[in-house]
């Protein structure tokens, strides 16, 4: 499980002004992630705008990232869709491209989504995968709800090597820790709550997987190191500092700018060539000024 013992990045996708994957910026981003201490990359998640990219651009993103990473860190790719059939179709497109893990989140939309139906859906996809599988748990934040007990059943499948937990719910945390105990070292848990990861690391999660990992990866790696060194109080102080930084980048506590702010920060760092987003977040003047403050005050964390 050493590959999960640290900070992973749910990597943002750099785009050209016409909305295509920017190969030049992507190559710089992969190198930047390595310098920040990132242990693995998660592609095509929400922060990576995977559900909004065309099929052709998703394929370009995956192929290019595999080439640029060149085996230096593992790559996970989200295959989520509305049915097992569509997820398996995505899986068959991607699993021979050199990726390491296929990741399943709850369907974006479903009708009459009973617990048994969703369990069977996950099982069909897991069994169809020729590579290891990761599960993305979004809890109450998902349009299709999966109870903790059902998640535990899914995590018992030996082909599942990883769970990303972004639910921020105690009952899910306990279900995941119980599954880890049953799996005896063959299941890793990564916390996806970048505003409150320390309790999860303290209680037994292996690492973190942040949507802001393209810029906050060094903070994440240091929080993980501090908890492992038996210094959770210091890790919590760093978490509180990082939260202030993220609120500046994301447009305040309402996260008004979110991905637009994140991509603009990456552009000003010289990693991205544009701040183009496919989802409807816009940079406002207040967020732009706050990003200037972050660049002035946090350079040692942002550039390694």
Domain parsing of the chain, residue ranges = 2-230
Q: CATH says 2-230 is which class? A: alpha beta
Average pLDDT over residues 119-146: 96
How far out from the chain centre does Cα 204 lie?
19
Q: For residue 15, what pLDDT is reported?
A: 99
Q: What are phi and psi of 269, to 5 degrees?
A: -75, -10
How far out from the chain centre does Cα 17 lie?
24
Q: For residue 220, what pLDDT is reported?
A: 99
| Predicted confidence (pLDDT) per residue in 160-199, tens digit | 999 999 999 999 999 999 999 999 999 999 999 999 999 9
| Predicted confidence (pLDDT) per residue in 42-68, tens digit | 999 999 999 999 999 999 999 999 999
CB 86 within 8 A of CB 38: no
Q: CA dihedral in degrees (191, 83, 14, 21; nearest 10)?
A: 150
Q: For residue 1, what pLDDT is reported?
A: 55
* Segment holding 137, helix H or strand E: strand 132-137
155 φ/ψ sector (left φ>0, alpha ψ -120 to 50, else beta): alpha
> Percentage of the chain surpassing pLDDT 70?
100
Per-chain mean pLDDT for the chain: 98
Distance separating alpha carbons of residues 97 and 217, to the nearest angstrom: 26
| Predicted confidence (pLDDT) per residue in 77-96, tens digit | 999 999 999 999 999 999 99
Q: Confidence band (pLDDT; 50, 70, 90) for 242?
A: very high
Q: What residues form DSSP beta bridges with 191?
A: 165, 208
Residue 2 scores a pLDDT above 90: no
Q: Confidence band (pLDDT; 50, 70, 90) for 151?
A: very high
Q: What is the DSSP string of 92-113?
A: HHHTTTT-SEEEE---SS-SS-
Residue 13 scores a pLDDT above 60: yes
How far out from the chain centre does Cα 210 lie?
5
How big is the chain, counted in residues? 304
């Amino acid at each position: 499980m050493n590959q999960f013992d640290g900070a992973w990045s749910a990597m943002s996708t750099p785009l050209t002004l016409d909305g295509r994957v920017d190969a030049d910026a992507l190559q710089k981003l992969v190198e930047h992630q390595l310098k920040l201490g990132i242990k693995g990359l998660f592609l095509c998640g929400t922060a990576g705008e995977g559900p909004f990219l065309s099929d052709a651009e998703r394929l370009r993103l995956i192929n290019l990232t595999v080439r640029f990473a060149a085996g230096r860190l593992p790559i996970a790719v989200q295959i989520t869709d509305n049915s097992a059939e569509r997820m398996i179709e995505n899986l068959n497109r991607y699993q021979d491209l050199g990726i390491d893990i296929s990741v399943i989140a709850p369907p974006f939309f479903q009708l009459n989504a009973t617990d048994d139906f969703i369990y069977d859906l996950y099982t069909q996809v897991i069994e169809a995968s020729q590579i290891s599988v990761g599960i993305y748990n979004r809890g109450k934040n998902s349009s299709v709800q999966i109870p903790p007990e059902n998640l535990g059943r899914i995590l018992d499948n030996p082909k599942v090597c990883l769970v990303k937990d972004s639910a921020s719910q105690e009952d899910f945390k306990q279900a995941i820790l119980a599954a880890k105990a049953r799996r005896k070292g063959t299941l890793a848990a990564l916390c996806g709550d970048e505003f409150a990861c320390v309790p999860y690391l303290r209680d037994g999660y292996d690492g973190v997987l942040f949507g802001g990992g393209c810029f906050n990866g060094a903070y994440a790696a240091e929080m993980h190191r501090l908890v492992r060194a038996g210094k959770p109080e210091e890790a919590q102080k760093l978490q509180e500092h990082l939260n202030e930084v993220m609120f500046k980048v994301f447009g305040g506590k309402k996260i008004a700018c979110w991905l637009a702010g994140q991509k603009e920060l990456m552009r000003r760092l010289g990693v991205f060539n544009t701040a183009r987003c496919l989802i409807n977040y816009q940079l406002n003047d207040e967020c732009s000024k706050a990003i200037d403050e972050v660049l002035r005050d946090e350079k040692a964390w942002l550039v390694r």
